[in-house]
Structure 1
Amino acid sequence: MTDKVIVAGVGMIPFAKPGKSLSYTEMGAEATRRALADAGIGYADVQEAYVGYVYGDSTCGQTALYEVGMTGIPVVNVNNNCSTGSTALYLARKAIASGDADCVLALGFEQMQAGALKSHWDDRPPTRERFMPVLRGMTADMEGMPQAIRTFGGAGREYMTRYGCGMETFAAVRAKASRHAANNPLALFRTIVTTEDVMNDQVILPGVMTRLMACPPTCGGAAALLVSERFAKKHGLRSDVQILAQAMVTDPVQSFEPPSMLSWIGTHMTDAAVKRVYEAAGVGPEDIDVCELHDCFAQNEVITYETLGFCPEGGAEKFVRDGDNTYGGKVVVNPSGGLLSKGHPLGATGLAQCYELTHQLRGSADQRQVQGARLGLQHNVGLGGACVVTLYGQN
């Protein structure tokens, strides 16, 4: 795979609370129209489409795209839990890089229900069923809590115990997310909260988590148009942002053996994926200017700093205290507000991250702009599991 992959256009709609959004059909179609307009091409130029969503019937991708056009192109529907949007992006990139196509759409949307994530299939084995004893054993005192809270609360508690991290560190990350989101008109929550506000919010897991440390269920849509460099030149499209490297990784044995909640939430997947990306691009964590990472819980953001190499093992608390995760620090993390403030419509999340980083590298992120940004890193993980790490750079 040698062809350059250009991000020619991105589109995103404002994220909304469940019950307050358009239908998935309308969200997907509008995100696509915005990406096409941003690129300056028509739907007739799109040769393939990869469409991600988690909660929906089969061929919802076609249903949304038929509102934009019916050109007979292949439409592949994608479901990879919370990394669904990035998985669609991964497949679109491979189609361009391999030379099989010159203009490919990656689209993600989600029309979610209120409340905690849940399975809609109770008559068959759940995902990761074989490894559930690990989760149940290490979070036995959380019986009855939603699985996502058990999972990331358990990981946060293990991190605190192992490295002496205080709950205030998670609260500070949530407060940072709110400050960033205040400048993002597409974010769900734009109210600034302080570390103290987060600490004083409703307790979900004593000593570990308050309600504000968890991302909200959200509806939304986002899209990206990827093209080959020759297609961009032929059609006079902008080609200032490209995907330099990308990797997708699923669970190794170490995710579950030996038992660890930090491993359970995908640290081994992230570590393997980001190392492949750094090696392929010939860069290191110290070269990254801006990062959109998977902060479904504030605990996961803190843990992921280390896994991406932004700070040494056990050094995340100092990293946060020193302000190295925001403007003026080492790397600006989640300038969009992240999942915590922007929202987390599962199928759209990875492509919303792509939207943000593309604008950062174009220099068009308005008040969120990271000055001088040249390299942007994206991290999107779905338990089950799949982790996608993508590196964007200026062309």
Structure 2
Amino acid sequence: MRTAYVLGVGMTEFSKPGRPDPNYPELAHRAADAALRDAGIGYRDVEQVCAGFVHADSTAGQRAVYELGMTGIPVVNVNNNCASGSSALLYARQLVQGGLADCVLALGFEKMQRGSLGTPTHPQSANPVGKFVEALAGLHEPTGAPVVLEMFRAAGNEHSARFGTTPEQFAKVAEKNHRHSADNPYAQFRDVHTLQEILDSTAVCPPLTKLQCSPTSDGAAAAVVVSEEVVDRLGAAGRAVEIVAQALATDTTDAYDSAVNIVGTPVSRRAARQVYEQAGIGPDEIDVIELHDCFSVNEILTYEALGLCAEGEGGALVDAGATTYGGRWVVNPSGGLISKGHPLGATGLAQCAELSWQLRGEAGPRQVDGARLALAHNVGLGSAGVVTLYRMAQS
């Protein structure tokens, strides 16, 4: 099987939704054009496009890339909830590895509405997370909060009841990520907050406060995925980032057993294990991680799912400073979803962009010293979990 490389990345600044312009075609154009220029190619070199989004009509990917040119190539639209961007990247990688294309554009974008994220469906359609909502109601007394908040609130409370995880430990995740985002020009929020400010911010669904929740966002991100032949032809080995291993996992029958499982933690664990097995490495060998901190609770759950620590020890990991600069790993140097923002279809590809910059040594003041192996984790409820391992191209 061939090796796939990320040769170019680009993204827009993530911003507060609610403004009519720029609309998603312009956002997608900006991100894709930046990725193509970064790769040193034009849109006519692209053989296929994989477009990830959630809240847009069925052929939004075509509408988005027509801003780049109408070349007649296949455009595949991907909707995997919050993991749509990384799922688009996965399909682009499979096309290249399988020998079906040498140059594929993975594109993710989103225009969102203000307010808490819901699960809008057609009134005659089944709710894709309906069974998870039913299972949660049988495990925890509903509070009437928006469904996604309800799920992560319950997961955090379960973790606290079982392992003693404290509100301060959850808040420390948000303090870290807001601090990291101060150096990210693409981040929706760049203000630094103290731990006490985070604890004292508006309680949205205890133990979660406003500053521990990712905002709805507008934005786009893109990656150009190519074969080794393209890298060689362009003489671009010094900039190419290898996709070493990648896995997408979905739910098994344990999904309804607990709130921690309902929010996709076992899915993340299975995908991570597959990646470690494919690459023949363990989590201790990773240097920098971008993970899906849609809420501070999920970052602590994901530490455990990715094998950074044993089950129940995620709170102690953040207490020890192990996931920030000077610690064992730097997790979410971009500021993560909490502070960088979370335009659903763009999130997984924004992670790809950040980690590509980190591995190239191009991340500026947020650069992780000596970054050699980078891991991305992106999950969508209902559930789809994508884990991707990157490194610079080997000679």
- TM range, smaller chain: over 0.9
388, 392, 395: which one pairs with 1:394?
A: 392
CA distance in 2, matches of 1:204, 1:155: 15
Q: SS in structure 1 opposite 2:225?
A: strand
Equivalent residues of 2:15, 2:219 under 8 A apart: yes
Contact kept, 8 Å, 1:357 with 1:376, in 2: the verdict is: yes
For residues 241-271 of structure 1, the C-alpha deviation after alignment (integer angstroms, 9 at most, x for no partner) is 1100000001011111xx2001111111111
Contact 2:145-2:205 within 8 A present in 1 as well? no
In 1, Cα distance between the equivalents of 2:364 and 2:96?
Answer: 30
Q: CA deviation at 1:24?
A: 0.3
The 8 Å contact of residues 9 and 38 in structure 2, kept in 1 or not, is answered as yes
1:377-392 equivalences under 5 Å are 377-392=375-390
Q: Assess if the C-alpha contact under 8 Å between 1:139 and 1:150 holds in 2.
A: no
**Alignment partner of 1:349 out of 347, 372, 376:** 347
State the Cα distance separating 1:121 from its structure 2 match.
2.2
* Aligned residue type for 1:34: A
For 2:213, the equivalent position in structure 1 comes to: 214
Provide the residue aligned with 2:131 in structure 1.
130
Change beyond 3 A, Cα 1:137–1:187: same
Offset, 1:4: 1.2
Contact 2:231/2:240 (CA < 8 Å) preserved in 1?
no
* Cα displacement (A) at 1:137: 1.9
Deviation at 1:120, TM superposition (A): 4.2
SS in 2 for 1:245: strand
Residue 235 (structure 2) pairs with residue 246 (structure 1) = no
Alignment correspondent of 1:231: 230
What is the aligned partner in structure 2 of residue 317 from structure 1?
A: 315
Counterparts of 1:1-395 in structure 2 under 5 Å? Answer: 2-20=1-19, 22-118=22-118, 119-142=120-143, 144-206=144-206, 208-238=207-237, 239-256=239-256, 259-395=257-393
- Secondary structure of 2:136's partner? helix
Indicate the RMSD between aligned Cα atoms, in angstroms: 1.0
**Percent of pairs identical after alignment?**
50
- Whether the 8 Å contact between 1:273 and 1:389 is mirrored in structure 2 is yes
Q: How many residue pairs are counted as aligned between the two chains?
A: 390
Structure 2 residue identity aligned to 1:225: V
Q: Distance in 2 between matches of 1:115 and 1:30?
A: 26
TM norm structure 1: 0.97
State the Cα distance separating 1:223 from its structure 2 match.
0.1
Residue 310 (structure 1) shift: 0.6
The aligned amino acid for 2:250 is: T
Q: Which moved more, 1:122-131 or 1:285-294?
A: 122-131
Alpha-carbon offset, residue 369 of structure 1: 0.4
Asked whether the 8 Å contact 1:172–1:194 carries over to 2, the reply is no
Q: Amino acid of the residue matched to residue 303 of structure 2?
A: Y
Stretch of structure 1 that moved more, 237-246 or 154-163: 237-246
CA distance in 1 between counterparts of 2:132 and 2:310 reads: 29
List gaps (5 residues or longer) in structure 1. Answer: none
User: Normalized against structure 2, the TM-score is what?
Assistant: 0.97
Q: Which runs of 4+ in 1 moved over 6 A?
A: none
| SS of residue paired to 1:140 | coil
Q: Secondary structure at the match of 1:247?
A: strand
